[in-house]
Structure formats: structure tokens, C-alpha cells
A and B are shown apart, each in its own frame.
Chain A
């Protein structure tokens, strides 16, 4: 059996070996990177790989055959056994058949003997027959027993055999398992080896390629960087250049632009001017054509008419507007004039009040004055009395000093009598004619003050009206009011006489005026009006005077006291004269008298004291005397 086992095992194994070399090359399934540099190594690698794959395939085949050999051997064994079994079965069957035949023969014999046995009557015969019969039966039984024994032995053998085959099978199975394991082991080892190799190869390759790629990459990167840097620097330079260029260009452009602008403006203005001219010409032409076209075209005329009517309407409306506005203005003027009147009234009232208050103040002042004066006079009287008494005491002859002021009551009285209304009244008598003449003169002489336009406007008017207007304008420009006109005429007429004289004190104006009135009145008839050449300086002086007088009148109006202050020196002398009733010498005398009197008084008081002392001492003396007397009395008594 084992021989059979071994033979087939070795046979294919041997047959496998020579095939190894001849096995066809197989294209490696794994693809290798095509690399022209490593072509030589690649080929060797490929060969290696092929060898590897060959080896592995061989291994696989060898080992599988090695394993399956057992199976086929098992099959063969099984077949053999089957044949054996069948053979033994056949032998057994034959034997059994033989046995059956022989036993049948014997059985037949027995049956036959049974028949003969029945025929036999003789006991001995019967016995013999029975014996033989029994022998036969015994033989049969012995045969059977033998057969059974044989069979049982065979069965035992079979059993043993079966056990043996089972053991064999077990061994074979064990072998199978062992070989399978071995196969697995060897295969795994082979695979592992290959894997390791391929891994190392791969790793090397990848490392090499990686290093190469890295190097390439590095190189390329450095190149790239260099290139980029160069490009960058270039670009920067370019940028700078361009910037400069741009700057220049900008400046140039700006200049150019300005020039162009100027030129253009010039041309534009020119063009505009031309255009306007053209327009004007065109309009003229148009107008001309219009004029021409007016006559023939009826439609145009109607349109123009319509336009005219429209314009008339417009004018009408404008006139209406004008009327309305005039009315409004008139109303406004009325209201304003009313307001003006009211304010004028108010103003006059206020002036009246002011006058009234001034008069009141004056009266009050006067009363005060008189009161003070009277008091003073009394005091003076008193002092004089006292002085006379003192003089009497002193034994000096007293005389009443001369006191002129005691008779009249101060300088205030004559001033209040100044007759202002009279003065005005006199003025009102100034002739209208004279005034007119003065006015005309003024107008003629001071014509240069008027504006040329006014003169032009006035030219067509009558002379009288002209003078009136001129007068107004003049007065307005000079700041003279209508009320002042008589004053002015007066002044002017007076001026001629005063020309030679020096200007009088301002304070004495009123008196001067009064004088002037008299003079003017005298000179009125005889003398001519002022000489033309002297009008202007006269006017100038008048104006100056007026300004001053206005200021002064303002002062006068504000405080009456101030006018009085002008006579302060007067008052002072007046009052001083009152104060100086007692002269200086007298005062000295008074002082000396007082001193003397004081001394005298002291002496007198001393005397009075001494007198009282004296009186006291006298009284004491008296007392003491009394006492002495008493004592004397008592002592007298005692002595008794």
C-alpha cells in the first residue's frame, strides 16, 4: 500500500522539476513606471519578477499535486479495497452456495433416510437407521458450525482490517493535513518573501523617484523663484519709469490742456461774438423781411393784431396794477402823515411841558433864593446886633456898616425880566419882500450847492417856482428849516454892519439881537441889501453861529441852573458881600475879646469859689465860737 502511495507522489514531483525551466514567461501584472534612465535595472527587475512568479507558480503546482496525490492514492486504495471486498463477498457467496448445495444433498439424504426409516420395522434396523440419520444430521450441524466459525473468523478479520484501514485513513488524513499545512507555510513564506522583495524594491523605487522629484522640484522652484524675483525687479523698474513718464506726461498734458482751453475759450468767444453778430444780422434781416412780409400777409397781420391786443391787455393790466399801487401808496402816505402829525403834536406837547417845567423850576428857584436871602439878611441883622452889643461891652464905638444889598433883593430880579416874546414879535414884522429878496440872492449865490440834474429839471419852470424849489433844496442841504428863514434874513442884513466890528460875546446874543433889530429897522429903508460877494461868508458865519446857538439852546433847555451859573461871579460877590458884613479886624477883635473874657471868667469863677470857701470858713468860725462860748459856759459852771 505504501509503495503505491509513494510512487505516484514522486512521479509527478519528478515530472514537475524539468518543467520549471521551460515554463513560459509571463508578463508581469504589475506595471512599472517607464523610466528611460533605469531601463537596465528595470529589465533585471522584470526578470527577477518573472522568476519570482515562476517560482511561486511552480510551488503552487508542486504542493497541490503533493497534497492531491494523497487523495488520489486514497481513491486508489478505496478502489482496491472495494475490489477486495467484492472478491471476498464473491468467495463468501460461492462458499455459501456450496454449503447450501452440500447441506441440501445431505438434507435430501436425511429426508430419503426418513422415508426408508418409515419403512423399516425392525427395531435394530431402525436404531441403526436412526444412528446414521443422527450422524448425518451431526455432520450437517458440524458443517454449519464450521461455516459459522469460518464466517465469524472472517468477520473478525474484517473488523481488524477495518480498524486497520481506519487507522491508515487517519494516518493519511494526518499526512494530508500536515502537507496542507506545510504547503500553506511554504506558500506563505514564499509570498512573504516576494512581498518583502517587492516592498523593498518598491520602497527603493519610490524613494529614488521621490528624491529625484524632490530635487527636480527644488530646482524648478528655485528657478521659478529666481525668475519671479527678476521679473519683479524688472516690473518695479518699469513701474518707476512709467511713473516718471506719467508724471511728465501729466504736467505736459496739463500745460497743453490749459493752452488748449485758452485757445478754445478765445475761439469760443470769437464764435460767440460772431454768432451774436450773425444773430443780430439775422434778426435785422428777419425784421426787415418781417416788415416786408407784414404788408402782404393778412394772416400775419391778424396775428400781430392779436399780439397787439394781447400786449394792450397786458398794458391795461399793468396800468390797473399801477393805479392800485398808487392808491395803496396814497393810503400809506395818509396814514404816515397822520402818524407824523400825531408825533408832531406829541413833540409840541412835550416841548410845552418842558417849558412849563422850566418856568416852574425858575419860580421855585426864585422862591428858594428869596427865602435864603431873607434868612441871610436876618442872620446879618443878628450878627450886627451881636457886634453892636460886643462893641458896647468893650466900650468901642459901633457903627452900622453900609449895607447896599439889604435894600434890593440880589441880581436875580432883572434877569427874569428878559423879554423873549417881544423879540420874536419884532421879527415877525420883518417884511416878506425882504425875505424874498434874500432868498433869491441866496439861491443865486449858493447855486453851486445844487445838483446839476435838479437845475436841469428846474430849467423849464418859472422863476418864482424855481426859487422856491431851489430854496427848499438849499435849505435841505444846509440843514436850515423854514422857521429859521426870517432869522437868516435878519442875520444877513445885519452882517454888513458887523463886518468891520469884531464878533461879540456869545452870551450877549440876545441883547445883540435886540440891538440888531433896532439897527436893522433903522437901516432897512436906507441901506441896500447885503453885497452879493459877502453873502457866502455871511452865510457861513450864520451857520456856525446857528450850530453854536443850537448847542447853547439845548443846554439852556436842559437846565435852567446852568444859565444862572453864568452869573455865578455876580452871585458870589453878592453873597460874599453879605458874608463880609463883619470885617477881618472886627473878627480879630472878637477873638481877643473872647480870650479876655475867658480869662476874666476864670478869675470870676476863682473868686466865686474863694467866696464860698470864705463863707464856709466864716460859718465854721461862727460855730467854733459858739462852741467856745458853750465851753466857756460849761467851764464856768464847772468851776463853780
Chain B
């Protein structure tokens, strides 16, 4: 029985549901037994997406329901913070990427069945473009603690390669994710608490080998980032060996590792062979020798656009080598040499580069002891330059006057650049 209540001014007939809506509700209720979705119109799809149960099995919904409200609801239910702009504004992509990341991050080797991961692959392989894995759990510890209790030095543990102490094997996964473009990895452990061991933050040799093979098998990868994982020269060489002929890799990031000169040499080789555009080696142990290897690669024609060697031990040896290489290079746009114990010698060398080179756009020399002489040289060089739009010489003991003059040149260059763009 329905009655019109005279006192209710908001009562309307619209509160009576339409038959079509009832039908759609019926579809929603029986979606698990009889999924009807593709035949519907856009508005009906929206209706259904807003009402579908979130507990439906993924194998039913993954390839049937298009990107939209349903996946938004799924994401909101699972995670509090959801920034869809990081995922090309695709809720579905966000859901599957984060879902897969969660699965991998909670994967315990020898404990979790790898099928759990493999089951997900056919469902999400079309949607996953990026994997940002912030932890990889080690296998459950054996009761042999005394052997592992030497964690003060980083180098001591590298030789240890006990059987079974391996992390998740990416070989089974990367091959099948046909749309994967970015891979961010860190071999670490987030909430270790008082059970801290250095081993938790390392990758084993076998891990490294399997990862290298997996990387080689993933033909679509464009960005590879392996940070804070205690990679030393050996592992670096191994990885680079497998990445040498990668067809699509453009960005390589080994920041916050322990790569030394031999690793830098390998990287230099990689630079000459691949089409790498961005290389980030910040916070490693590269010294002048390694820098020379990289500089050698730079002096040859390469596709590198950005080089980051921040927080290494290049010293003047490496700095001068790179400056020499830059004289021959005209592709590099961004160069970061901050915190490398360089002095006015490097500044002099670089001032030559700034005069001659017209491709370099930004250069960062902060936290080096360039001194007043170096600053003056740079100031002189910058007055002839028109391409550099960013020049960071803070904390370099440079005279304030030269800093201001350099900044002025930089700003004029910026405005010129903007003019060009506006045209």
C-alpha cells in the first residue's frame, strides 16, 4: 500500500523504482551465477558498477567489468589512500597493480604457494604497467643464529650464500606480464622491529641471477629501479650482463647501493651498448676510476640524457674525466655531480664545458669544495652560455657575487627557453 502523505512535500513518484532498475538490481544480485555486463548500455553499466558486491571473485570480474566505479569502490575498500593520478586515472590499473604488489610483498618463499601469484597473472596481465615493490620477505629463519650474527659490516655478508635463503623469484612472473613497463624493487623488510639483521636487506647471488634472467625475459620493461638493496660490484656486473641487450630499457636506477669502480665500469659498458636515457647511480661507492669508465662511455655517442652521480667519491680525477668527456658529448641534458669532493680543478674543467657545450641544460655541483676561484671560473663561463637553465652551486664555498651572476645568467636562459617554447 502506498499513500500520498500530504505533509511530505518531497514525496514524488520517482521514489517508485523503475522496472528496468529492478531488472538491473536482479542482475546485480545474481551476478555470480549469471554475469551479464557487456550487452548493457553505458548508463546501465554504471548502475551495475555502483551496486555490484565487492566480494565477487576476481576471476569473474577482472576481464569482464571495465574500468570504472566498481574498481574505484574496490580500491577505496582496500586502501585508505588512493591517488589515482599515479595510475593514469585508471582505477582498475591501480587495483590490480596494488593487489599484485601486496601479494608479492607478502610472499614468503618456501611457505606461500607460487600458484597464488601465478593465478593472478592471467587476470591482471593486461592492466599492470608498473610494479613498485617495497619489501621482499625472506624465508622463515632456520635455527642457526650464531652463524648469521655478523651484520656490522656490509661487505662481510656478501659471500654468504646459504641454500634456501632466497627471496621471491621474479622469473615466474615477469615473463608473463606482457604490459609491464616499470619495475621498482627493493630487497628490504619494512617492519622488522627487534629482529633486525643485515641479511634482510640484501639480495643473494641466486636472487640476483634469477632477477637478471627475469629482467631479460621481460621485453616491455622501460624502467628498472633497484635501490637500497646492498648491490655490490659482483651483483651489479651480473645484472648489467643480462641487461646489455635489453630492447626497451630506458631508465636505470641503482641508487643507494654499494656499487664500486668495477660495477661502474660495467655500467659504462652498458651505456655504450644500450639505449639508456636516464642513469641514476646516486649514493654509491664510485671513485675516480669508475668515473673515468663512465666518462669514457659519455665521450662516445650515446643516447643518455640524464646522469646522476650524486654522493659518490669521484673527486677531481673523476670530475675532470667527465668534464673532458662532456666536451665531446652533445646529447646529455642533465648532469648531477653533487657531493663528490671535487675542487676548483673540476670547476675549471667544467667551465670549459659550459663555454663550448650548448646542449647541457642543468648542472648540479652542490656540496663540492669549488672555492672562490672555481666560482669565478664558472661565472666567467656562464656569461658565454645560453643553454643552461639550472645551475646549482650551493654549498660550494663560492663567492656570493659569482653565485648571483650565475643565477642571473640562468634566469635569462630560462626566460629565453620559455620564449622559444612559447613560439
Contacts and interface: CB of A to CB of B under 8 A. Distances in A.
B403 interface: yes
Interface string A407-428: 0000000000000000000000
Given A23-B411, A26-B415, A73 B395 contact: yes
Interface string B400-423: 100110011001100100110010
B339 interface: yes
Contacts of A471: none
Contacts of A78: 311, 339
B407 A15 contact: yes
B200 interface: no
Interface residues of B, number: 21
Contact of A75 (B367, B411, B412, B422): B367
Contacts of B407: 12, 15-16, 19
A12 B394 contact: yes
B160 to A, nearest CB: 22
Interface in A107-150: none
Interface in A23-46: 23-24, 26-27, 29
A14 B407 CA distance: 12
A30 to B, nearest CB: 11
A199 to B, nearest CB: 22
Contacts of A23: 411, 415
B395 A72 contact: yes
Nearest to B310: A75
Contacts of A454: none
Interface string A49-86: 00000000000010001001100110110110000000
Interface string A396-440: 000000000000000000000000000000000000000000000
Contacts of A486: none
Contacts of B366: 72, 75-76
A18 B395 CA distance: 20
Nearest to A17: B404
| Closest 10 A/B residue pairs (Cβ) | A15-B404, A72-B366, A76-B367, A75-B339, A75-B367, A8-B395, A79-B339, A8-B394, A72-B394, A76-B395
B408 A22 contact: yes
A479 B310 CA distance: 164
A61 B389 CA distance: 12
Contacts of B400: 11, 14-15
B392 interface: yes
B338 interface: yes
- Dominant SS among interface residues on chain A: helix
A402 B353 CA distance: 204
A15 B403 contact: yes
A76 B415 contact: no
Contact of A24 (B339, B403, B412): B412
A24 B419 CA distance: 11
A65 B403 CA distance: 13
A534 B411 CA distance: 167
Contacts of A73: 395
A11 B422 CA distance: 32
Interface string B103-116: 00000000000000
Given A11-B394, A78-B339, A72 B367 contact: yes
B411 A79 contact: no
Nearest to B153: A89
A16 B339 CA distance: 23
Contacts of B418: 26
B146 to A, nearest CB: 19
A24 B410 CA distance: 12
A75 B311 contact: yes
13 contacts: A8-B395, A11-B400, A11-B403, A23-B411, A23-B415, A24-B415, A26-B415, A65-B394, A68-B392, A69-B394, A75-B310, A76-B339, A78-B339
A2 B154 CA distance: 30
Nearest to A24: B415
Interface in B341-369: 341, 366-367
A75 B395 CA distance: 10
Interface in B297-332: 310-311
A15 B399 CA distance: 11
Nearest to A80: B367
Nearest to B407: A15
A29 B392 CA distance: 28
Contacts of A4: 395
Nearest to A65: B394
Nearest to A26: B415
A12 B407 CA distance: 9
A320 to B, nearest CB: 99
Interface string B246-268: 00000000000000000000000
B411 A29 contact: no
Contacts of B422: 27, 29
Contacts of B341: 79
A513 to B, nearest CB: 127
A27 B415 CA distance: 10
A19 B404 contact: yes
Contacts of B394: 8, 11-12, 65, 69, 72
A417 B57 CA distance: 154
Nearest to A14: B400
Contacts of A72: 338, 366-367, 392, 394-395
A111 to B, nearest CB: 29
A79 B367 contact: yes
A69 B338 CA distance: 13
Given A12-B403, A72-B367, 17 more contacts: A8-B394, A12-B394, A15-B400, A15-B407, A16-B407, A19-B407, A26-B415, A29-B422, A69-B394, A72-B392, A75-B311, A75-B338, A75-B339, A76-B395, A78-B311, A79-B311, A79-B341
Contacts of A69: 394
Best-surrounded residue of B411, B418, B422 (most CB of chain A within 10 A): B411
Best-surrounded residue of B392, B394, B404, B415 (most CB of chain A within 10 A): B394
Nearest to B282: A75
A427 B40 CA distance: 134
A66 to B, nearest CB: 11
A18 B404 CA distance: 9
A79 B342 CA distance: 12
Contacts of A24: 411-412, 415
Nearest to B403: A15
Given A8-B395, A72-B338, A75-B339, A19 B411 contact: yes
Nearest to A29: B422
Contacts of A79: 311, 339, 341, 367
A174 to B, nearest CB: 19
Nearest to A12: B394
Contacts of A22: 408
A619 B383 CA distance: 213
A4 B408 CA distance: 24
B194 to A, nearest CB: 14
Nearest to A89: B153
Interface in A368-393: none
B419 to A, nearest CB: 7
Contacts of B408: 19, 22
A75 B341 CA distance: 12
Interface string B367-411: 100000000000000000000000010110000100110011001
